[in-house]
Structure 1
Amino acid sequence: MTFQELNIIPPILEGLKKANYSKPTPIQEQSIPAVLAGRDLLGCAQTGTGKTAAFSVPIIQLLSEANQVKQGSPANKKAKSARAIRSLILSPTRELAIQISDNIKVYSSYTDIRSTAIVGGVSQRVQERALQQGADIVIATPGRLMDLVNQKQIDLSMVEILVLDEADRMLDMGFIHDVKRIIAKMPNKKQTLFFSATMPPEIVKMVQTLLVNPVKVEITPVSSTVDRIQQSVYLLEKGKKQSMLNLILQDQTIASALVFTRTKRGADRVTRDLAKVNVTAQAIHGNKSQNERQRALNNFKSGVTRVLVATDIAARGIDVEELTHVINFNLPNIPETYVHRIGRTGRAGKSGMAISFCEQDELPFLKDIEKVIKKSIPEVKDHPYPLTSMPVFAQQLSSTKQASRTSGGRSGSHRSAADRPGKSKTNPARKPKSEWFTKRDKGTSGGGKSGERHSNGSRSARSEQSHAKGGPSSGAARKAEHSKTNSRSSVQGSQRRAKTHSNQAN
């Protein structure tokens, strides 16, 4: 199928030719006719499937045709100098919004449609001037758009077509409440195009609320990965990821690599460490200004920078056709994020490689990812930093559990002391009630019952000491000691009597 067969008007066909689009992708084939027919649309598609053109091309055509119908009307001529916003496209990140805006400018370059991007991180005055000049299509991030709405700098009351792009990401980033407030500023009757790679419950609820009898387009199930992407994982000892990354990037055939980290600080650290080994790298994340992020992205696309280190949120909108490698420095804790990440390579029918680093504490993430993509990621074992502690520990634990299950019953008592597992420290056994007060009264003296308890306690202690040394039983010990005491007493008595008789004789 061609774009001509989709009934695209000649000015837009010229723009598509300028963008080097030869034929529509599957999502474009299914979406463009539905949008041109005025239907609501629910699109489930990953990045790199061509969904930007799938919604922007028919929007440009609908608005352009509406302009032609109204052309010549005095009221329209008056409104031409101050155009109302007739289409709003909401995007989760600045980069994605700018990317969409750039594409729309190319597609609409041979039409009279005006568009502008409203994003944070840049001067608001420039955006206010663009709005005052008039824009048919506004591509915006929720935060900056909400600021302008609150300042009454933007009017959404004439919006005819609303696009929510990557709605699941807006939910993840906490924009969903701003999105709902923005929608409340628009007319109830409008055409809504809703795109989301995943469908969590909150998104499903929004779809049911916003869309009326939508056409559903699903391209490449969210839980699958592109077959042409070669995936591999390195199981690494803790703290060896940077060394492994440095080693991999010694391969000069890796022309460009997008490295994903979990945190902004981690992205900066990886960038600094790569610079130490003479690898050109730049970081892109939320703490960077919009100009810094755009400069880093442009350098990466032009080849000035070999490695771009990014967080997941900042990477939205990065579309580099020649990207050969995606490297997961940190595995994501959401399996679908892995699918989004590796989808950055292998675009436009080209092959790509996705490399993941996994430490011991990330093994559960790897397991979840493999469960979602329904295949095992091949492990690369021939490297200098293998993860050895976890497999050995797991093997020992497994064998111990197996031995305890098979030995069972009394067989455990017949094993030698060396074979038995070490006993853990436990609390001492409770004393019988007769000895409850022994320790408390041990240091007391005096007669009566207290002295008797003291005496009993002392004898008990001597008895226990004797038993611990392997001596005779407590009863035998007491008899032997008693006989010794009697014999000593009789000898001493005999000596005293003999001395008395001697004194009497003298």
Structure 2
Amino acid sequence: MDSPAPTKRRRIQRSPSPTYKLDDEEDDYEPYVPVAQRRQMKLAKLSSLGASTDPARSSGPLKEQDEPEDQEQEEERRREKSRKERTLLMEAQEVHSKKAAEDAKKTEEQKEQEADKEILDAIRSRRKLASDMELAKGIQYTDSLKTSWRPPKYVRERTEEQHRKLRERYHILVEGEDVPPPIEHFRDMKIPESILQHLSSKRITNPTPIQLQGIPAAFSGRDLIGIAFTGSGKTLAFCLPLIMLALEEEVKLPFVRGEGPVGVVLCPSRELANQTYENVLTWTAALAQDGKSPRLNTVLCIGGISMNDQSHTLSKGLHIVVATPGRLIDMLEKKRFTFNNCKYLCMDEADRMIDLGFEDDVRNIMSFFKRQRQTLLFSATMPRKIQDFAQQSLIRPVLVNVGRAGAANLDVLQVVEYVKQEAKMVYLLECLQKTPPPVIIFSENKNEVDDIQEYLLLKGVEAVAIHGSKSQEERQYAIKSFKTGAKDVMVASGVASKGLDFNDIQHVIIFSMPKEIEDYVHQIGRTGRSGKTGIATTFVNMNTPEQTLLDLKYLLMEAGQKVPPFLGTIEDSRAVQGGELKGCPVCGGLGHGISNCPKLEETQRRQMASHRTTEDGGGY
């Protein structure tokens, strides 16, 4: 076998090897210069351009061309740097000198007003009282709700000057456009005869100032802000228009199961909601007594009670709901009833409802409304901040103010006494001898409420206690036994001071002065109601903040009450122009400005606490 022919190997052409030049060989090659060294050389060149005056440097056409360019660039950099430094410095000096000149012209009062305005702007609400649907779609109502009610002809024919004189006679202040006329008699308001007879049986013959102007405004379908001192009949002023509206709707077309309510009344506490509910039941029952008017169904929605007890009412057509915010939201979310046709919303003690922790609940409730509604806000203490917020949220609102918002009831004799902390309990027994029962004693501390009740029981005084930590059954028992006269004394925290109406209370004792003057006004307002007189005795000592004492001093002066010597010696550092004091826009206190408002401080403290709880994952 022949062997295979040898394969011809191909010569591979390799690239030539690089040629290296030695350092001493001459060529155009420039050695590598490190970056740092190049920067130093460039810096030295620039500095030499500015400093050197050697004529030899200007030799050669290339250097003659580069030198002016480098000099121009360097000069431009220097001018730019100088311009910036000069501008910033001069601007700072001008701003400082201008501000100093303006501050020198301003008085201390103007500076305080500017500081107050900044704080007010900071705490101003970002959203109005509107439903989520209205906010999302940008829905804005411009006209008030239309109603079928009209004042009598003789009232319509009065001139505006006659209306003004009538309001002046009853010390009624009004704001708003096209304010409905005041009416002096219930009969002229076109109220059904059965309700008039019921009111007469309760010795209610003529409307109070807030009713005289508030009821016609509400009957006209207008949004309303009603401010009047405690015990002035605000409940009738907002419940009667709701009852008449519900009656009109029922007469047009009777309600069946699943329909309603027509309107809702919101209250900040269970006790106030229960009291309002009982009043509505009484007035609707009186309305149905003549046999001509249908029976209106009312339901109470508050925590601590079973809704099964009212299932028979919920199974019918529903006309009126009286509720606290939390339970109302629960019922709406469970769809036990809806606000699809609800067109009347009233908030009692409205400054509390849209302040502090209730504001989010109110906004949540608003989101369940599907149509325009008539909104009414009532309170005895409604600071300017809340009034401004409400006027922005309401539709062509009418503001009805009987006296200054936050002023004390003039029918109450206010007695302020300096009592040492350790002597309070003993002196309390002496104060109870001033008037016959029933008497209410207020304390800000829940534990102190229990201590006072226990001490009085040991001394043979029939006393009950009520505060937020007690169960609903205990609270209802305390109120019922006190109202019926089974118990002589009620010891209470602030929960019993808002709107509760007790019969013939002649004496209120404030065992511990509240920090916020609003709470004090509400507490002394449990006496001196419906035109009657009463006494309020308040204990103060060195533990009472000076700011609170100053608020109390001005409140006594405003009401024409006797100012104790120890209060008279407290001086106000603020400059009072023309003898007129403007109240704090947040709480209405006369003894301080917004910058040191205790209510604002408490609000901020609660907000910070809630933020911390949220950040900590729910506060485990």
- TM norm. shorter chain > 0.5: yes
Pair 1:123 & 2:299 matched: no
Pair 1:244 & 2:427 matched: yes
Asked if structure 2 preserves the Cα contact closer than 8 Å seen for 1:16 and 1:106, the reply is no
Closer/same/farther in 2, CA of residues 23 and 200 from structure 1, 3 Å limit: closer
Q: Distance in 1 between matches of 2:441 and 2:191?
A: 38
Equivalent position of 2:190 in the other structure:
7
Asked if structure 2 preserves the Cα contact closer than 8 Å seen for 1:90 and 1:142, the reply is yes
Give, in angstroms, the shift of residue 222 of structure 1: 2.4
Give, in angstroms, the shift of residue 314 of structure 1: 3.2
Equivalent position of 1:498 in the other structure:
none
Per-residue CA distance 1:373-415 (angstroms, 9 max, x = gap)? 435864789xxxxx9xx999x9xxxxxxxxxxxxxxxxxxxxx
Q: Distance in 2 between matches of 1:391 and 1:28?
A: 37
Give 3-state SS (helix, strand or coil) of 1:24's partner: coil
Pair 1:92 & 2:268 matched: yes
* Paired AA for residue 42 in structure 1: I
Give 3-state SS (helix, strand or coil) of 1:95's partner: helix
Equivalent position of 1:221 in the other structure:
404
The aligned runs of 1:86-485 (5 Å cut-off) are 86-109=262-285, 110-111=287-288, 112-172=295-355, 174-200=357-383, 203-204=386-387, 206-251=389-434, 253-362=435-544, 364=546, 365-375=548-558, 378=562
* Paired AA for residue 274 in structure 1: L
Per-residue CA distance 1:182-234 (angstroms, 9 max, x = gap)? 01111341111111333346634541343111121111322422333211112
Give, in angstroms, the shift of residue 15 of structure 1: 3.9
Closer/same/farther in 2, CA of residues 113 and 345 from structure 1, 3 Å limit: same
Equivalent position of 1:65 in the other structure:
248
Asked if structure 2 preserves the Cα contact closer than 8 Å seen for 1:300 and 1:306, the reply is yes
Asked if structure 2 preserves the Cα contact closer than 8 Å seen for 1:321 and 1:348, the reply is no
Give, in angstroms, the shift of residue 166 of structure 1: 0.8
Equivalent position of 2:601 in the other structure:
none
Q: Distance in 2 between matches of 1:333 and 1:377?
A: 20
Give, in angstroms, the shift of residue 126 of structure 1: 2.5
Q: Distance in 2 between matches of 1:210 and 1:199?
A: 15
Per-residue CA distance 1:151-207 (angstroms, 9 max, x = gap)? 232312211111111111224551111011101111341111111333346634541
Give, in angstroms, the shift of residue 19 of structure 1: 4.2
Name the stretch that deviates more: 288-297 or 119-128.
119-128
* Paired AA for residue 108 in structure 1: T
Q: Distance in 1 between matches of 2:515 and 2:542?
A: 14
Closer/same/farther in 2, CA of residues 64 and 18 from structure 1, 3 Å limit: farther
Asked if structure 1 preserves the Cα contact closer than 8 Å seen for 2:268 and 2:349, the reply is yes
Name the stretch that deviates more: 82-91 or 360-369.
360-369
Asked if structure 2 preserves the Cα contact closer than 8 Å seen for 1:160 and 1:191, the reply is yes
Give 3-state SS (helix, strand or coil) of 2:296's partner: coil
Asked if structure 2 preserves the Cα contact closer than 8 Å seen for 1:331 and 1:366, the reply is no
Q: Distance in 2 between matches of 1:205 and 1:229?
A: 29
Asked if structure 1 preserves the Cα contact closer than 8 Å seen for 2:556 and 2:563, the reply is no
Give, in angstroms, the shift of residue 322 of structure 1: 0.6
Aligned length: 378
CA RMSD of aligned residues (A): 2.5
Give 3-state SS (helix, strand or coil) of 2:422's partner: coil
Give, in angstroms, the shift of residue 309 of structure 1: 0.8
* Paired AA for residue 187 in structure 2: Q
Asked if structure 1 preserves the Cα contact closer than 8 Å seen for 2:391 and 2:397, the reply is no
Q: Distance in 1 between matches of 2:371 and 2:385?
A: 20
Asked if structure 1 preserves the Cα contact closer than 8 Å seen for 2:457 and 2:463, the reply is yes
Give 3-state SS (helix, strand or coil) of 2:539's partner: strand
Asked if structure 1 preserves the Cα contact closer than 8 Å seen for 2:262 and 2:319, the reply is yes
Equivalent position of 2:25 in the other structure:
none
Equivalent position of 1:43 in the other structure:
226
* Paired AA for residue 233 in structure 1: V
Asked if structure 1 preserves the Cα contact closer than 8 Å seen for 2:260 and 2:337, the reply is no
Closer/same/farther in 2, CA of residues 346 and 197 from structure 1, 3 Å limit: closer
Pair 1:16 & 2:212 matched: no
Name the stretch that deviates more: 11-20 or 304-313.
11-20
Closer/same/farther in 2, CA of residues 374 and 46 from structure 1, 3 Å limit: same
TM-score (norm 2): 0.57
Asked if structure 2 preserves the Cα contact closer than 8 Å seen for 1:93 and 1:317, the reply is no
Closer/same/farther in 2, CA of residues 244 and 160 from structure 1, 3 Å limit: same
Q: Distance in 2 between matches of 1:173 and 1:300?
A: 30
Q: Distance in 1 between matches of 2:480 and 2:447?
A: 22
Give, in angstroms, the shift of residue 18 of structure 1: 4.8
Give 3-state SS (helix, strand or coil) of 2:357's partner: coil
Give 3-state SS (helix, strand or coil) of 1:338's partner: helix
Give 3-state SS (helix, strand or coil) of 2:405's partner: coil
Give, in angstroms, the shift of residue 10 of structure 1: 2.3
Closer/same/farther in 2, CA of residues 19 and 291 from structure 1, 3 Å limit: farther
Query: Structure 2 stretches of 5 or more lacking a match?
Result: 1-183, 289-294, 571-620
Closer/same/farther in 2, CA of residues 202 and 221 from structure 1, 3 Å limit: closer
Give 3-state SS (helix, strand or coil) of 1:353's partner: strand
Give 3-state SS (helix, strand or coil) of 2:327's partner: helix
Equivalent position of 1:468 in the other structure:
none
* Paired AA for residue 459 in structure 2: V
Equivalent position of 2:155 in the other structure:
none
Name the stretch that deviates more: 199-208 or 178-187.
199-208
Give, in angstroms, the shift of residue 240 of structure 1: 1.4
Give 3-state SS (helix, strand or coil) of 2:206's partner: coil
* Paired AA for residue 462 in structure 2: T
Asked if structure 2 preserves the Cα contact closer than 8 Å seen for 1:286 and 1:314, the reply is no
TM-score (norm 1): 0.70
Equivalent position of 1:476 in the other structure:
none
Asked if structure 1 preserves the Cα contact closer than 8 Å seen for 2:408 and 2:555, the reply is no
